[in-house]
Each structure stands twice: as C-alpha cells, then as structure tokens.
Amino acid sequence: MFVDHADLLVAAGDGGNGCSSFRREKFVPHGGPDGGDGGRGGSIFLRATTHHNTLVSYQHQPQFRAQRGAHGEGSNRTGRSGKNLVLEVPVGTIVHEVIEQKVALLADLTETRQEIEVAKGGRGGRGNQHFSSSRNQAPLQSEPGHPGEVRNLRLTLKLLADVGLVGFPNVGKSTLIARMSAARPKVANYPFTTLTPHLGVVELSDHRSFVLADVPGLIKGAHQGIGLGHKFLSHLERTKVLVHIVDVSSGSGRNPVEDYEVIRKELTEYQVPSIESTGLALADKPQLVVASKVDVLDEPKRLEDLKNHLRALGIQVFSISSITGQGLKPLVEAMWNAVESSSRSGVTPSKGTAV
C-alpha cells in the first residue's frame, strides 16, 4: 500500500530527577551531600533510507516516545541516559512541524542516511551535591528532570526520479515503464489502472542509468485536485525531465492535440508549494512528447496533426509502441540526454536541508 502523507506525534524522553542523598559511612564524619544527577532523556531522530518506499507504517502507529532518563542515585551516581529512538523514512520525505495550524519546514531528506533530530531529550536534574556551599553544607535541594520536547510532525513523501511520465489515464505509461525497467505496475485496458506512483531504473549501455517514475493518469482540473491530480502532480516536483505520453490511437475517443494541451495547461497552472526546495516549476521543466500506441494507429492523420501542432511549438515527437518495442531505443537515449543536459545546467532537485 502506497502512502505518501502521515501525521506523527513524537515525544522525547524526560530527564531523570536529581537525587538528594548524604554520604553515610562509618568513621567518615561530615560525609556531606552525594546525590547524583539524573540521566538525559532519549531524543528522536528521523533517518532517510532506501529500505522503505512508503509511509504506511506511520498510519498504524502515529505516536512515538523515547525512553526517559534514569534518576540519580547516592554516592554521586548519575542516572543512565535514555536510549535515542531512530525512525526510518523513505528517501524523499519532507518533514514539517505543525504548530497551531501553522506549518514550518524542518527538513527535506533527499539522501540516504540523512538524519535530523526532531525531538530533543530533556536534561537530567542536578543532585544535591551541586547545591552545597559554605553556608549550606547539608542541602536537601535537588532538581527534577527537564521534560523532553514534544512535536507534531507532518511527513510528506515526494518521489525522487530523473524522469516523470505524465498524461491522461490509460495512454500507456505503465506499459512503457514495465517495458523499459524492472518495475511491474498493474496494466489493464481501463482508465485509472494505476492508482499509486511507481519507480523503475532504466539501464543503458556504458553503465548509464536513470530513474523513471510512472505517475497515475491526470485529467482536466488536476491542478485543482480533481481526480486526486494535485496529489499526483506533487510527485513530479523533483523530476528533472517530464515525458508527456499522448495516445494517438482512436481507442481513447479523444483528440491527441487536445489531450496534449489539456495536460500542458494542468502543468502550467499547478502551483508548486515550496519552489525553493524542489527546483523548477512543472511547466518550466524540460519535456519530451511521446505518441504512443502507434501499433494500433488506424487513422494516421491523428499522428500527423499532433506532429504538426508540436512542430510549430518547436517540440519533437517520438512515435513508439510499448508492445512491439518500436521507437523505444531513440526515446531512451533522448531521455538520457535530457537528464544529462538538465544536470549540467543545474536543473536538479535541491540537496536535502535541515532547518
């Protein structure tokens, strides 16, 4: 089950209480105070890992508390510190703190083993040995442990991919990623077969590779959330290149030129929530256009109209069939070249930040 949002309540461990104690040993007069300090409470960390690709585990357990510190003891013995708690999240997780309906960015975890402390453990209280003075040689005073931090967190997973596939439902995106990589999304002849994003690694010659993302189909009004489009569009924010898939067969019952313009408009009108942390706006990313299902093309004019329309915009069209493999090799090379070009020009997702 793919889950890309989760709300957590994290509570660091409280510090242990300081001890009020006096040294009492035979033949040792005026032993004095020897109360030890309390141990520090455990802190809570979030760590990015490639072992997980969803936040589903945090839907079932939304609250976490770290171990508290042990209390101080006599003979100046400091209490044991509480164990830190490390929560693993998928690479690409954005961490926000929610404070009275306001949301503040804490971190953008885009690299493996990147880590952030989200709740700091409380400091242990001081024992009465710290309160001895010339005026008060037998202090009874000691400190309680300090409470650990408590935070409400909002986790959002945004896929990290070099290339993102976009288009209407059932235009052949899932079939294409299955043909080009080891990803195995559900493929069927009805709309909205894909309900969650999928990632696949495309391997080329000379040890080259890039990560391809199959995003569920978009429809008109997707930038406003229609058809869960807003949720799906957010996964394209980190991609370097977009590949627009257009079904040129008559099976869709739609006009390929109109399909292209509708999706282009949705990309243009989608407002990226945090443009400073995700790179370019969607409409400004490098794009390739693919005419799919040419193996069942029964009206060649549909393909020609699309090519003429895009030629006027200075956009090249790649005609392919994911079933027969027609046109896939030049498309893969074009994807690689676009990724390399965007990397050289600095159009890349920003490195993870901890604020």
Inter-CA distances, 153 with 20, 97, 158, 165, Å? 38, 5, 16, 30
Contacting residues for 149 by C-beta, under 8 A, at least 6 apart: 11, 12, 119, 120, 121, 122
pLDDT for the residue numbered 263: 86
pLDDT for the residue numbered 224: 47
pTM score, whole prediction: 0.72
% of the chain beyond a pLDDT of 90? 48
pLDDT for the residue numbered 134: 86
Inform me whether the pLDDT recorded for 354 exceeds 50.
no
Q: Do 5-157 and 163-344 share a fold?
A: no
Inform me whether the pLDDT recorded for 121 exceeds 70.
yes
Q: Residue 93 forms beta bridges with which residues?
A: 109, 157
Question: Please, which pLDDT band fits residue 225 given cuts at 50, 70 and 90?
Answer: very low
pLDDT tens, residue by residue, 46-86: 999 988 878 888 988 899 999 999 999 999 999 999 999 99
Inform me whether the pLDDT recorded for 1 exceeds 70.
no
Inform me whether the pLDDT recorded for 29 exceeds 60.
yes
Mean pLDDT to the nearest integer, 187-215: 73
Question: Please, which pLDDT band fits residue 232 given cuts at 50, 70 and 90?
Answer: low
The candidate with the shortest Cα–Cα distance to 55, out of 7, 107, 6, is 6
Q: Residue 103 forms beta bridges with which residues?
A: 98
Question: Please, which pLDDT band fits residue 279 given cuts at 50, 70 and 90?
Answer: low
The CA-CA-CA angle for residues 319, 322, 328, to 5°, reads 55
pLDDT for the residue numbered 2: 67
Alpha-carbon span 284 to 158, nearest angstrom: 19
Phi, psi of 204 (to 5 degrees): -115, 180
Inform me whether the pLDDT recorded for 89 exceeds 80.
yes
Alpha-carbon span 194 to 167, nearest angstrom: 12
Question: Please, which pLDDT band fits residue 280 given cuts at 50, 70 and 90?
Answer: low
CATH, domain range 5-157: 2.70.210.12
pLDDT for the residue numbered 252: 79
Alpha-carbon span 155 to 169, nearest angstrom: 28
pLDDT tens, residue by residue, 140-196: 999 999 999 999 999 988 877 889 888 888 888 888 988 888 766 555 444 444 456
pLDDT for the residue numbered 253: 84
Q: Where are the domains of the chain?
A: 5-157, 163-344
Four-point Cα dihedral 241, 243, 244, 247, nearest 10: 180
Q: Token pair for residue 331? A: 């498309």
Q: Token pair for residue 229? A: 């489009």
Inform me whether the pLDDT recorded for 343 exceeds 60.
yes
Tell me the fold of 163-344: Rossmann fold (3.40.50)
